[in-house]
A and B are shown apart, each in its own frame.
Chain A
């Protein structure tokens, strides 16, 4: 049986899952979720304040709570990287020298110097990561790929006026996602076929060139077969008179509802709050307050 598992590729895939529960977040327009998600990620990357990141995290957590999905699921992937994350933050804090004159030294031991600035940058690194991971989990739990496609296509629509191929872009992404399961089946078949001819995809301790050469009998047929698939598909589309996006009507029309405006309101309040916190240096005020209380 161990031999068989080697060929089963499906089980190895670990990526965000759609969990239908029909909650308010699920019923939101895909465009709302896409836009808010992108905005929140950008803000989380550029904001440089712990308080602001906390506010963003609370917002995402609130979103996760009202999806009726177990919140625990969102943090499974986080648990796996947590050790790495600590190591990275520690490197950021200790080893990366912070040549800034206004940095205060908090702790010193031999050649390790911990300044308030490096502590902040380490904490920010961790905070950003946690916010973005939970946000992506929220998005993937509540949006199916079909919804995502319609959302992308609708959102790119205004760009069509500027001759940007919105419909085509959405179609390309759609083909890519739909093709992955087909490729899995194809790869399994090729692996079995090559193994029956004596190929060995085993995990022996070889140098990387040897290992790569052993994988070539899988990769080359896989690429060639996919190119053939692509050609067949293009012919099939052409013979069905596919003309591209212009003048096409849609089966599913997206509409903004009341809940979308509420979601936008919450998201924009959170983003504005985070930006204000970062701008007015709330962190330093809180830090000073804590220090005065302690002393």
Chain B
């Protein structure tokens, strides 16, 4: 199949999933720190792992623009006020895909399964780190608080992203994990 067409379509569809997760609020998992955990960036990671860094960056762009629009049109919390700034909402999201792809590419030859988990964690931490970094650079939040948020929200988000990336890419690429079939 033509590689370019597939890349275009997968980028579009994954961008669609990111919008879908945000618009229906399904991509937010309530969490005790008040700010809910998000998995809206997982389509970016999956797209990057499957189709490369450019596709990842394009999905990241769609995700970023959508989170800007959502923060402006249908805000749900105090943090949304900051996300109206494209430097907070769009710029960091462009980099999630390429980083996830680099990590996946680097570890793939050793073993595919840990590579996927690592890509999920790296992509998610890129999102947390860069968004909070930009917030800190703008002076919206004091740096010590940023460290706390990064640990409290960033680490569980990374875990969820790793689980979901693994759970989707393994069956899609038919990777043999020796644990076939349902566990139920």
A115 vs chain B, min Cβ distance (A):
14
Residues of A within 8 A of B14 (CB): 226
**Structural contact, B29 and A176, CB atoms closer than 8 A:** no
Provide the residues of chain A in CB contact with B164, threshold 8 Å: 216, 219-220, 223
Bound-state Cα–Cα, A16 to B171, Å: 36
Q: Chain B interface mostly helix, strand, loop or mixed?
A: helix
Q: Is the beta-carbon distance between B8 and A223 smaller than 8 angstroms?
A: no
| Complex Cα gap A87–B82 (Å) | 13
Contacting residue for B172 out of A136, A211, A227, A235, CB 8 A: A227
- With a cutoff of 8 Å between Cβ atoms, the chain A residues found around residue B73 in the complex are 14-16, 77, 133, 136-137, 140
Complex Cα distance, B32 from A137, in Å, reads 32
Contact present for B9 and A88 (CB under 8 Å): no
A38–B31 CA distance with the chains assembled, in angstroms: 35
What 0/1 readout, one digit per residue, does chain A (187-217) give for beta carbons within 8 Å of chain B?
1000000000000000000001101100110
Q: Which residues of B contact A45 (CB under 8 A)?
A: 85-87
State whether B1 touches A84 (Cβ < 8 A): no
Closest-by-CB residue of B relative to A186 is: B20
Taking CB atoms, residues of chain B closer than 8 Å to A171 are 8, 12
Residues of B within 8 A of A231 (CB): 1, 6, 9
Q: Is there a chain B Cβ closer than 8 Å to A229's Cβ?
A: yes
Q: Is the CB of B17 within 8 A of A175?
A: no
The interface residues of chain A lying within 8 Å CB-to-CB of B10 are 227, 230, 234
Q: Which residue of B lies closest to A95 (CB)?
A: B142
A41 close to B (CB within 8 Å): yes
Contacts of B30 in A (CB 8 A): 208, 211
B24 A242 Cβ-Cβ under 8 A: no
A15-B23, A208-B30, A237-B5 known; A172 vs B17 contact (CB < 8 Å): no
Closest beta carbon of chain B to A127's beta carbon, Å: 12
Chain A 161-175 against B: per-residue CB contact (8 Å), 1 yes, 0 no?
000000011011111
Distance, CA A16 to CA B73, complexed state (A): 6
Within 8 A of B (CB), among A130-160: 132-133, 136-137, 140
Residue of B11, B20, B32 near A172 (CB, 8 A) is: B11
Interface residues as binary, B157-184 with A (CB distance below 8 Å gives 1, 0 otherwise): 0011001100110011000000000000
| B13, A212: Cβ atoms closer than 8 Å | no
On whether the beta carbons of A176 and B171 are closer than 8 Å, the reply is no
List 9 A–B pairs whose Cβ atoms lie within 8 Å, in order of A's numbering. A9-B24, A80-B75, A88-B81, A125-B81, A176-B15, A183-B20, A208-B156, A219-B167, A219-B168
Interface residues, chain B, with chain A CB atoms under 8 Å away:
1-2, 4-6, 8-20, 23-26, 29-32, 37, 39, 43, 46, 50, 58, 62, 69-70, 72-75, 77-78, 80-81, 84-87, 139-140, 142, 156, 159-160, 163-164, 167-168, 171-172
Not counting A15-B69, A132-B84, A230-B13, a sample of 14 additional A-B residue pairs whose C-beta atoms are within 8 angstroms of each other reads A80-B75, A125-B81, A128-B84, A136-B69, A136-B72, A171-B12, A176-B13, A178-B16, A179-B13, A180-B20, A219-B167, A226-B17, A230-B12, A233-B9
